[in-house]
A and B are shown apart, each in its own frame.
Chain A
Amino acid sequence: AQTVTQSQPEMSVQEAETVTLSCTYDTSENNYYLFWYKQPPSRQMILVIRQEAYKQQNATENRFSVNFQKAAKSFSLKISDSQLGDTAMYFCAFIDASGGSYIPTFGRGTSLIVHP
């Protein structure tokens, strides 16, 4: 069974600074996808960024980028130039694409607060 671990329950950062949220996972599969989702307070969960395991290049989406270390099974999210609107719960998710279960495994989340 796959597991996803987010070791930082809470993080805080000053506006305009950079913060990195950690995520590690455990799997014996080779074909999978990784995601970061954002859940702002009292708002809908949305996708932040995704990474295919077969791609060596780290995914980037504007101020959001990942550091994907496949051998280490690590998938951290870097938020650059943090903004107040980045305050949210962030969930790391793993899904096996090898033809088995299509149910994602989510981490327990990291609560990020951006201070003005």
Chain B
Amino acid sequence: GAGVSQSPSNKVTEKGKDVELRCDPISGHTALYWYRQSLGQGLEFLIYFQGNSAPDKSGLPSDRFSAERTGGSVSTLTIQRTQQEDSAVYLCASSPGPWLAGANSYEQYFGPGTRLTVT
């Protein structure tokens, strides 16, 4: 079946503009995660959705960042008034859900990422 998809794959924007990044998780996966990865760095957790709810928004770096998920499926990460330090690869991942037995319920399936460049 189809994997996690993200769009756009690349986005170049001017400082101060708003951007929207989209994630389509694997069908049936209830958990969805957003991460940020700066060049050569590890993963910075941003936000986690279980269904349409976001029980943990603690990773959002500022109030310029917001995210929503609709229909338990597609998610959008919005960055308002972009700054140069927002430049990074934004990764989305989905997983089946925590109530299934076994490690595979927690396995993360990653999308290809959106490379955001703020000029």
Question: Which residues of A are at the interface with B, using a C-beta cutoff of 8 A?
Answer: 33, 35, 37, 43-47, 50-52, 91, 93, 95, 97, 101-104, 106-109
The interface stretch among B21-29, B42-50, B75-83 is B42-50
A44-B98 contact, Cβ under 8 Å, with A35-B107, A50-B104, A107-B42: no
Asked if residues A102 and B106 are in contact (CB atoms below 8 Å), the reply is yes
**Does B2 make an interface contact (CB < 8 A)?**
no
Question: Which residues of B are at the interface with A, using a C-beta cutoff of 8 A?
Answer: 3, 31, 33, 41-43, 45, 48, 50, 56, 91, 93, 98, 102-104, 106-113
- Residues of chain A contacted by B42 (CB below 8 angstroms): 91, 106-109
Complex: A23 Cα to B107 Cα, angstroms? 18
The 5 A-B pairs at the shortest CB distance, nearest first, are namely: A45-B110, A108-B42, A33-B103, A50-B103, A106-B43
Give the nearest-CB partner of B112 in chain A.
A44
Asked if residues A102 and B110 are in contact (CB atoms below 8 Å), the reply is no
- Residues of chain B contacted by A93 (CB below 8 angstroms): 108
Asked if residues B48 and A103 are in contact (CB atoms below 8 Å), the reply is yes
- Residues of chain A contacted by B103 (CB below 8 angstroms): 33, 35, 50-52
Asked if residues A91 and B43 are in contact (CB atoms below 8 Å), the reply is yes
Complex: A109 Cα to B35 Cα, angstroms? 15
Which of B104, B106, B109 contacts A104, CB < 8 Å?
B106
